[in-house]
Structure 1
Amino acid sequence: MARTDPRQPLPRTPASTTPLADYLDRPAPGAGPDYLVVPRSLAESMPLRWQQVFAGMLADLHDAYGHLRWPDYRVVPSRWELLTDLDEEQLAAAGYVADLNAAGELEYRDASGTPVADPLQHRVLAPVEDPLPAPSEGRVEPRPAAPL
């Protein structure tokens, strides 16, 4: 529809009422369906102004929801891996076991004991070594901005 009066503002698409959910619902590092993980070493490496804003937002979050019973969280660096590529420790942490069946073939079972139908194609979230530096290792330099 064309504007009849050029002094009239263009119609605007309304802003989302759920911008954080909109952002986190797409693939984003550290974001899952239930949690957002921000590595401390990267947060502490942000420019000072970003840290000030982020600290203020966290203070507001904790002030608003501090009355709830927050649990302690254990964050385990993990990656989606093929079941057949995991070692015994990773299998156990992901809730699987590998053992020889009656025919002498390697069989993978989940925590309930059910055999995995196609272990060569089955991916699981398995613990891995953290590829990000610890906060004690100092500042992490961000990648340079793209040229204009």
Structure 2
Amino acid sequence: MSENPRPSNVTDGPIHEWFSLSYSNYLVLHRTLLQSMPTEWQERMVACLDELQHAYSHLEQVEAYEVTPSTEHIVGEMTDLQLRMASIDVDLYGGAVPPAGLTGDELAEWQEKHETAEPAYSRNGVELDPVERVLIPTIDPVPHYNRGRTYIEPKISAASPVEPAPGSSPLDHLKAMAGNARNAISHTHAGRTADATEHVHAIERLLTAYHQAARTPKES
């Protein structure tokens, strides 16, 4: 039996649950943030991406997508400026048009008389629902990846160090030291891990030597 059996609905799994109630059809990940994660995390991420790409390499897919940084707005809650920025037309008078040549007072009177309870919204001739969400382009606050040079330190809570139980063997202490060192490395920027990695390797060499010594028969 599989350790991770598929749900009765094969698409109703962790990914579907992660997207929650959103209607998003795509997941956009910022390259700058991805390259700023710990190296160990990046290795896991790349392995998953490679696995996904290989699993669907037989499918025809589009060549490229265009991603535009934007802010999301509900049509019926947008200001006049936001509506203009989104190129949305608003009809407050049920399609009626005021006669030409009205004075200011006459126009105000006409508008008051013909104004509908609910305005109608449209864009490029297509009617929009007041609760529909639209996007307005904006400037991305996350900096460009800059050929892999941009680094933004992530806020990752490191796991608590493992403390061997009182009376533990030297082997247990070495195992705890190696585990704590690996955890520290996974939360350290790649450019500062060389020394820490060497410490882990030294501890692992001690573990190997300890196991070899433990297996060596003692001379009588």
* Matching of residue 140 in structure 1 with residue 152 in structure 2: yes
Structure 1-normalised TM-score? Answer: 0.62
- Do 1:83 and 1:122's aligned partners in 2 also have CA atoms closer than 8 Å? no
AA aligned to 2:55 is A
> What CA deviation, in whole Å up to 9, does each residue of 1:117-145 have, x standing for no partner?
87xx8752222111211111601111353
Distance across 2 between alignment mates of 1:46 and 1:73: 24
Report the CA distance between 1:64 and its aligned residue: 0.9
Answering whether residue 58 of structure 2 is matched by residue 67 of structure 1, we say yes
- Corresponding residue of 1:131: 141
Report the Cα distance in structure 2 between the residues aligned to 1:141 and 1:122, rounded to whole angstroms.
Answer: 36
- Counterpart for residue 42 of structure 1: 33
- In the alignment, the residues of structure 2 paired with residue 97 and residue 83 of structure 1 have an alpha-carbon distance, to the nearest angstrom, of 12
Asked if residue 83 in structure 1 is aligned to residue 74 in structure 2, the reply is: no
Hey, what's the Cα distance between the residues in 1 that align with 2:67 and 2:145?
A: 15
Gapped regions of structure 2 (runs ≥ 5): 8-12, 99-106, 112-119, 161-220
Aligned counterparts of 1:23 and 1:44: Cα–Cα separation in 2: 22
User: Are residues 122 and 23 of structure 1, via their aligned partners in 2, closer, same or farther at CA, if it must alter by over 3 Å?
Assistant: closer
Number of equivalences: 124
* Correspondence 1:24 to 2:19: yes
Matches of 1:75 and 1:112 in 2, distance apart? 24
TM-score between both structures, scaled by the size of structure 2: 0.45
For 1:57 and 1:35, locate their aligned partners in 2 and report how far apart those are by CA, in whole Å.
17
Structure with bigger helix share is 2
- How far did residue 113 of structure 1 move? 5.2
Structure 1 gap ranges (5+): 1-13
Alignment of 1:43-58 (within 5 A): 43-58=34-49
2:123 is the alignment partner of 1:110: yes
- CA distance in 2: counterparts of 1:57 and 1:144, whole angstroms: 21
Q: Hey, what's the Cα distance between the residues in 2 that align with 1:44 and 1:144?
A: 15
CA-CA distance at 1:37 after TM superposition: 0.8
Rounded Cα–Cα distance in structure 1 between residues aligned with 2:143 and 2:50: 25
Larger Rg, first or second structure (1 or 2):
2
Distance change (3 Å), C-alpha of 1:117 and 1:46: closer
User: How far does the alpha carbon of each residue in 1:20-71 deviate from its partner, in whole angstroms, 9 at most, with x for none?
Assistant: 21112257xxxx5211111111111110001000001100111111222221
Q: State the identity as a percent.
A: 28
RMSD (Å) for aligned C-alpha atoms? 3.6
